[in-house]
Amino acid sequence: MTREEFWPYYVSQHLNPTNRSLHFAGTTLGLACLACAAFAGRPLFLLIGLVSSYGLAWTGHFFFEKNSPATFRYPLLSLQADFRMYALMWKGEMSGEVARLGPTVSALRR
């Protein structure tokens, strides 16, 4: 499966705005921890970043979206799609992307 083929499925698993916000916060924390690890030379920040980023994302899935994270089945495609969603959220375009894919993501929702 290509990234473009996977994208509508990924969006279908992230329809809840709270879930997407938790992903955004988690990705931001993860990137901040990665920067801290690199600049401070403290690898512990990598572990903190992984736990905080995945913890927030999984909280969004289990409590708000009520589904399993896509990363369980598609780890690499899911990571790539998460960064695509993150970029779209920075630009304020993710809700528009959900609307654009509309019927496609509704059919993929499981």
Q: pLDDT over 90 for what percent of the chain?
A: 87
Is pLDDT above 90 for 62? Answer: yes
- What per-residue confidence (pLDDT) applies to 109? 65
In a domain, 3, yes or no: no
Dist CA 88 CA 66 (whole Å): 23
**What is the count of structural domains for the chain?**
1
In a domain, 29, yes or no: yes
Is pLDDT above 70 for 106? Answer: no
Dist CA 24 CA 86 (whole Å): 6
Nearest CA-CA partner of 10 in 65, 55, 54, 64: 65
Is pLDDT above 80 for 79? Answer: yes
- What per-residue confidence (pLDDT) applies to 17? 96
Q: Give residue for tokens 């509508």.
A: 8
In a domain, 35, yes or no: yes
Is pLDDT above 90 for 88? Answer: yes
DSSP state of 109: -
pLDDT confidence tier of residue 107, bands split at 50, 70 and 90: low
* Domain containing residue 104: 8-108
pLDDT confidence tier of residue 12, bands split at 50, 70 and 90: very high
